[in-house]
Amino acid sequence: MEIEQQKIIELLAQSPLFAHLKEIELIWLAGFFQPSVFRGGEVIFNAGDSSEMMYLVLEGQVDLISENGSVLSPMKVGDIFGEEALLYDDPRFYRAVAQTNLILLQLIVDQYLMISEELGEVEEKLEVLIRSRKLSMRVDLPWLQEDEHVHVITRRHPAILWGRLVLPMLIGFVAILGAILTQKFWFPERHYGWIMMAVAIPLAIFWLVWRFFDWRNEGSRANDIL
């Protein structure tokens, strides 16, 4: 199937991943994308499938379905999905289904590895995009409209903060609970429980505060990348 190269170049130039490339680089890159056709309702890949290529939507729409069954807003013309294949050899963590008749442009991982050094900061952008995709499938984002989907979630997003605070809160809770049980039931005549609590509470608070300031201070980095 023949696709006009200029159309591919225009889509690449509009993509956050490749917008930084010069026109001559976009022309060169366009030659590595190969078209594939899917009918409406056809499965492109399932969760658990091996990751072998990234897709760029040329025509039609694609539904991305998380492992818990929730459907993200559809990928439309110019959108990219399956990007995790270019960096990681992990199984797919979501399902992609053609919502309509569909033409995709695919970039095979082996070809990407051959040209990645020539693409500047694409790999760093891919890292941000993949992490944002994974987070958007785990965390409810009520502010998203039906026709919107996540390109990137920066570290300043509250969802990132809560994700970073869960571990210190959990460990702090377990430590305090252990201290109470120690003092009340296991060694009531000694001060082991109070000592554990005196150590656990300051450490948990320090860890929480450190995580918060780390989140606040580095929140603009992903915006600088994309």
Residue in 7, 23, 139 with CA at minimum distance from that of residue 70: 139
Tell me the two tokens of residue 94: 């979501």
pLDDT score at 9: 93
Q: What is the CATH number of domain 5-122?
A: 2.60.120.10
| Mean pLDDT value of segment 31-36 | 94
- Asked if residue 102 lies in contact with residue 37, where contact means CB atoms within 8 angstroms, the answer is yes
pLDDT score at 126: 85
pTM above 0.85, yes or no: no
CB-based burial label for 180 (10 Å; 0-12, 13-18, 19+): middle
pLDDT tier, 32 (very low <50, low <70, confident <90, very high otherwise): very high
| Mean pLDDT value of segment 8-37 | 91
Q: pLDDT tens-digit profile of 85-107?
A: 998 888 998 999 999 999 999 99
Measured CA to CA in angstroms, residue 160 lies from 65, 163, 216 at distances of: 22, 5, 10
Longest dimension (CA), the chain: 83
Q: Provide the CA 94 distance to its chain's centre, in angstroms.
A: 11
Q: pLDDT tens-digit profile of 151-205?
A: 554 445 566 667 778 888 888 888 888 888 888 888 888 888 888 888 888 888 8
